[in-house]
Chain A
Amino acid sequence: MTLAPQSFVEHALAVSAADDCVVIVRDHTSANLRWANNTLTTNGVMHGVDVTVISFVRTADGVATGSVTGTATDQTGVTALVEAADRAARASGPAEDAAELTRDRVSADWDDAPVPTDIHVYDALAPALGEAFRRASAEQRVLYGFVNHEMTTTYLGSTTGLRLRHVQPTGHYGCTGKPADLSTSAWVGGATRDFTDVDPLAFDAELTRRLGWARRSIDLPAGRYDTILPPSAVADLMIDAYWYAGARVAHEGQSVYSNRAGGTRVGERIAAPGVSLFSDPAYAPIQSAPFATAAQSSNESSVFDNGLPLERTDWIRDGELTALIQTRHSAAMTGLPVTPAIDNLVLEVDGAAGDIDTLVAGTDRGLLLTCLWYIREVDPQSLLLTGLTRDGVYLVEGGEITGVVNNFRFNDSPVDLLRRFSHASATVPSFSREWGDDYFSRTATPALRVPDFNMSSVSQAQ
């Protein structure tokens, strides 16, 4: 049974007793398959409808807000959420981020129904996956992996005439392969919007190729290495560079983007010439919502900014820091333009061409990584990150891959890497191993070669 999300929005706006009201309805469906040891382990299909009601109440001192989110399935449930949000707003004090609500923007497809997914998104993939399991077992190879597809249709309505709709497909595949003795690992993975471009037999073949590189195994010590970071690893690191780019935190002196003398480093050259880091809701194939949504205010979001239009924003342009993640409140604090967060991220290097193979061919002696893992901030002043290499570090000698190397713990800063890299490939759609599953899957990045990537210690993990 399906109830129209638009009717939830209209009902909430009609029954709200607040001065203004914003309603966000998210209809989300997902389907996943998970496997290990060449057999399926878990799976599932889910459907949920989340309704967020934000009430705005004007008082003598300003505007107070209340935000309540619940799993509503009928109008009675929506009414209860509205009443709770109104109560929360009336019990709250004036909001520091108060601003005029966005007005009168309507999506042409507002009346359209939610777009779902279900288990049949894997109708073509499932038999091929079963075949890949049989082939891997016969060839003494073990596969572990996951495919997930989600469709989220968002409806944002307000008493100020907003009626905005966005359909967001999100999907990815990832598969780890090991030989039967588990002595080494390889990984392949990527993002997809619809699974028409995902072939288990192809990714098993790529795993086989990579496991073949492990026929020669070399132990290397910690140290600074000439290192090729593939697009996945660059995505891992750039997502952190983006997440820590809040304008308020920078302005208040707590990030790598803070000017120690006060204010932010916007306008300063922080990366090599030709480097651009930007977000763009229209960038294919990683399109994302073209309007802001926020269920709660924070350093980097404001409930008053719901419905603000989003368009291409350059965070770094030609090596210069040009923008930080803003609310209208933080923009006023910092005296900078209003540049809210956008749900995709692109790194481009002017003039860069070729791919990983091009970078490998040009490297006399260095390391080629597969991906990074367990990345955490160590020191916010330089945005020093720590983490591990994972599922395949390969030795490059004379422009060719000649063996597999032990894993390492790294300590390095993504902002500093953008200054130090020596070579870049063309930008391609990528998938962050660390953050892509649950938090941020829409990236396009080049491979980067860094002459002195800091491998701090050896990890015995295989």
Chain B
Amino acid sequence: MGARELDPTFTALPYRSLGDAALARAADLGASHADFRFERVRYQELVARDGTLQGASDTEDLGFAVRVVHGGAWGFAAGVVLTTEEAVRVAESAVAVARVAAGMTSSPVELAPEPVHDDVTWVSAYDVDPFEVPTAEKAALLVGWTDRLRTGAAVDHASAHLLQVHENKYYADLAGTRTTQQRIRLHPGFEAMGAGADTFDSMASIAPPAGRGWEYLTGGAHSWDWDAELDEVPELLAEKLKAPSVEAGSYDLVIHPSNLWLTIHESIGHATELDRALGYEANYAGTSFATIDKLGSLQYGSPVMNVTGDRTVEHGLATIGYDDEGVATQSWDIVKDGVFAGYQLDRAMGHLHPELNDGRSNGCAYADSSGHIPIQRMANVSLQPAAGGPSTEELIGRVERGLYVVGDKSWSIDMQRFNFQFTGQRFYRITDGQLSGQVRDAAYQATTTDFWGSMEAVGGPETWVLGGAFNCGKAQPGQVAAVSHGCPTALFRDVRILNTLTEAGN
């Protein structure tokens, strides 16, 4: 990897003096815990459609926040004026909010201890900062993609997008931890659209968003193979437009990582957030069927199911050195040999449940900006491949009558993470172990533990892909997170397939 140094335009900002002033004021006012978080997040979004750059914007979010535990209650306040006086005022405001909160707090807040990480630095793995690349060059690439897609006979319209994020954050707390970190991530993509006689449809890129730099778009060892996909998609769309509608019923499914990552996100990632199991999200994102009494006994899936949580995998979207509570990031088991084995934690929950991680948080607290409070947020949650396991072709070869699912599209799951429904970019019929063309209008619907219980086999390490999303929503006020999910291709038996035209009553 290239020069991975903290951006000097960030390190020139006065976060250290503001943090010192804010923490000193919070201590003076009697806070038992105080932390100061200063963030600068830069976003650039480019959108092209039909040979033109349709929209472009640069956004920078810069500010800081003070969070305190005072009188057993949380207090949080955020500000944007970068002066010592304002830092002191925001600290006072956080304490004032904690005083208001104390009257409504019936369980005093306590935090699991964490070793002091004194003035440490962490920078994510990338070669080229996309913000150093001229916008015109990036726009030309996207416009070129839409032109190229439209040379396909079936393609009437094409769009392309690129979202780039450059994130810096400084964290300091009263215990003495100080961390300065930097991350880069990208979400490129495209979609081709076309029409048949009485139908229309689309086919999108299955490239995952990644914690990588501009090198992800330019070909070479660290790049997605855009050329191959741009060549392939117009034909795939043409085939989809002519494909027959699926017959609803029960099918065996071979699911490619480009689709399965999202099912993992919804049915395992969110279900094993301890804040949900404890009810903190009951009014919004929901709770979880995977309650704490089931830890160590719930058969989450078949014995081939092994799921880990981590904030450490290289190029992972949730990967970082230290979380927004100053906790060093870790890796742990969530499902082991099919049995529910672990949760995602923050420091308050680590204290409440010392049996889960030896009384320590596993580093899953973060916020999406300085203006929002850190909450328990998702780690990279990944399904492990089988050492020496089968290839995708071998898994398809084990199916007599089934579907092979590629790419994600529509997704939905209930408030306790039982019932889900997903569609995909393309569904191929499998007949006697061979692919036999696409079908349209398919959705798969299942209950989480039934679905993972029906997983007969996972592919080998060569089938494993790190997928993910930029747009995971949670909390009130709403926060957005980027998170990765790795998985191999996997084989599921007897899954319910719906025909979406029938569902619409047509």
Interface residue ranges, A against B (CB under 8 Å)? 1, 30, 32-49, 65-71, 73, 84, 88, 91-93, 96-97, 119, 122, 126-127, 129-130, 133, 137, 142, 144-146, 148, 174-176, 178, 182, 185, 187, 252-254, 258, 260, 295-299, 373-382, 384, 386-388, 390-391, 407, 409, 411-413, 416, 437-438, 452, 454, 456-462
Chain B residues near A407 (CB-CB < 8 A):
414-415, 419
Q: How far is the CA of A462 from the CA of B287 in the complex (A)?
A: 9
Q: Does B97 contact A119, Cβ atoms closer than 8 Å?
A: yes
Residue among B56, B156, B289, B501 making CB contact with A253, cutoff 8 Å: B156
12 pairs of residues in contact across A and B, judged by CB atoms under 8 Å: A46-B372, A92-B56, A130-B103, A142-B279, A144-B280, A174-B283, A176-B283, A260-B195, A377-B410, A378-B500, A437-B476, A460-B419
Chain A residues near B478 (CB-CB < 8 A):
437-438
Q: B221 contacts the other chain (Cβ, under 8 Å)? A: no
Q: How many Å from the CB of A298 to the closest CB on chain B? A: 5
Q: Does B193 contact A254, Cβ atoms closer than 8 Å?
A: yes
Q: Which residue of A lies closest to B106 (CB)?
A: A39
* Interface of chain B residues 466 through 506 with chain A (CB within 8 A): 473, 476-478, 496, 498, 500-501, 503-506
Known A73-B80, A386-B421, A461-B415; 4 more pairs at CB < 8 Å: A37-B279, A43-B76, A92-B135, A185-B282
Q: Which of A71, A146, A187, A375 has the most CB of B within 10 A?
A: A71
Q: How many Å from the CB of B353 to the closest CB on chain A? A: 14
Q: B416 contacts the other chain (Cβ, under 8 Å)? A: yes
Q: B355 contacts the other chain (Cβ, under 8 Å)? A: no
Q: How many Å from the CB of B290 to the closest CB on chain A? A: 13
Chain B residues near A127 (CB-CB < 8 A):
103
Q: Does B443 contact A144, Cβ atoms closer than 8 Å?
A: no
Of B58-66, B317-325, B389-397, which binds chain A?
Answer: B58-66
Q: How many Å from the CB of A181 to the closest CB on chain B? A: 12
Q: Work out how many contacts link A and B, with CB atoms closer than 8 A.
A: 275
Q: Interface range on chain B: under 10, 10 to 19, 20 to 34, or 35 or more?
A: 35 or more
Q: Does A416 contact B505, Cβ atoms closer than 8 Å?
A: yes
Q: Which residue of B lies closest to A388 (CB)?
A: B414
Known A88-B56, A254-B200, A384-B500; contact A71-B62, beta-carbon cutoff 8 A: yes
Q: How many Å from the CB of B199 to the closest CB on chain A? A: 7
Q: Does B60 contact A375, Cβ atoms closer than 8 Å?
A: no
Chain A residues near B417 (CB-CB < 8 A):
461
Q: Does B75 contact A43, Cβ atoms closer than 8 Å?
A: yes
Chain B residues near A93 (CB-CB < 8 A):
52-53, 136, 139
* Interface of chain B residues 306 through 354 with chain A (CB within 8 A): none
Q: How many Å from the CB of A238 to the closest CB on chain B? A: 18
Q: Does B57 contact A92, Cβ atoms closer than 8 Å?
A: no
Q: How far is the CA of A374 from the CA of B418 in the complex (A)?
A: 13
Q: How many Å from the CB of A194 to the closest CB on chain B? A: 18
Q: How far is the CA of A92 from the CA of B52 in the complex (A)?
A: 11
Residue among A45, A91, A182 making CB contact with B77, cutoff 8 Å: A45
Known A254-B200, A409-B414; contact A96-B104, beta-carbon cutoff 8 A: no
Q: Does A388 contact B412, Cβ atoms closer than 8 Å?
A: yes
Q: How many Å from the CB of A83 to the closest CB on chain B? A: 12
Residue among A43, A387, A416 making CB contact with B97, cutoff 8 Å: A43
Chain A residues near B104 (CB-CB < 8 A):
33, 35, 39-40, 126, 129-130, 133
* Interface of chain B residues 72 through 125 with chain A (CB within 8 A): 73-83, 85-86, 93, 96-97, 100-101, 103-107
Q: Which residue of B lies closest to A298 (CB)?
A: B55
Q: Which of A46, A376, A409 has the most CB of B within 10 A?
A: A46
Q: Does B56 contact A296, Cβ atoms closer than 8 Å?
A: yes
Q: Does A382 contact B504, Cβ atoms closer than 8 Å?
A: yes
Residue among A68, A378, A461 making CB contact with B423, cutoff 8 Å: A378
Known A42-B74, A69-B58, A381-B200; contact A252-B504, beta-carbon cutoff 8 A: no
Q: B186 contacts the other chain (Cβ, under 8 Å)? A: no
Q: How many Å from the CB of A353 to the closest CB on chain B? A: 29
Chain A residues near B305 (CB-CB < 8 A):
none
Q: How many Å from the CB of A185 to the closest CB on chain B? A: 8
Q: How far is the CA of A295 from the CA of B295 in the complex (A)?
A: 48
Q: How far is the CA of A447 from the CA of B209 in the complex (A)?
A: 41
Q: B202 contacts the other chain (Cβ, under 8 Å)? A: yes
Q: How far is the CA of A258 from the CA of B195 in the complex (A)?
A: 11
Q: Does B76 contact A384, Cβ atoms closer than 8 Å?
A: no
Q: How many Å from the CB of A414 to the closest CB on chain B? A: 11
Q: Does A44 contact B97, Cβ atoms closer than 8 Å?
A: yes
Q: B217 contacts the other chain (Cβ, under 8 Å)? A: no
Q: Does B49 contact A299, Cβ atoms closer than 8 Å?
A: yes
Chain B residues near A32 (CB-CB < 8 A):
476-477
Q: Does B101 contact A252, Cβ atoms closer than 8 Å?
A: no
Chain A residues near B373 (CB-CB < 8 A):
42-44
Q: Does B411 contact A376, Cβ atoms closer than 8 Å?
A: yes
Known A386-B421, A412-B504; contact A374-B477, beta-carbon cutoff 8 A: no
Shortest beta-carbon contacts, A-B, top 10 = A461-B416, A438-B478, A144-B282, A411-B503, A459-B419, A44-B76, A146-B476, A40-B104, A296-B57, A39-B106
Q: How far is the CA of A88 from the CA of B281 in the complex (A)?
A: 41
Q: How far is the CA of A245 from the CA of B284 in the complex (A)?
A: 27
Residue among A48, A67, A91, A384 making CB contact with B80, cutoff 8 Å: A48
Q: Does B477 contact A148, Cβ atoms closer than 8 Å?
A: yes
Known A36-B279, A45-B97, A146-B476; contact A73-B81, beta-carbon cutoff 8 A: yes
Q: How far is the CA of A65 from the CA of B55 in the complex (A)?
A: 9
Q: Does B53 contact A41, Cβ atoms closer than 8 Å?
A: no
Known A33-B104, A96-B54, A146-B283; contact A48-B157, beta-carbon cutoff 8 A: no
Q: How far is the CA of A130 from the CA of B478 in the complex (A)?
A: 24
Chain A residues near B388 (CB-CB < 8 A):
none
Q: Does A71 contact B58, Cβ atoms closer than 8 Å?
A: no
Q: B28 contacts the other chain (Cβ, under 8 Å)? A: no
Known A43-B97, A456-B498; contact A461-B418, beta-carbon cutoff 8 A: yes
Q: Does B445 contact A457, Cβ atoms closer than 8 Å?
A: yes
Q: How many Å from the CB of A351 to the closest CB on chain B? A: 26
Q: Does A1 contact B279, Cβ atoms closer than 8 Å?
A: no
Q: Which residue of B lies closest to A87 (CB)?
A: B135
Q: How many Å from the CB of A289 to the closest CB on chain B? A: 19
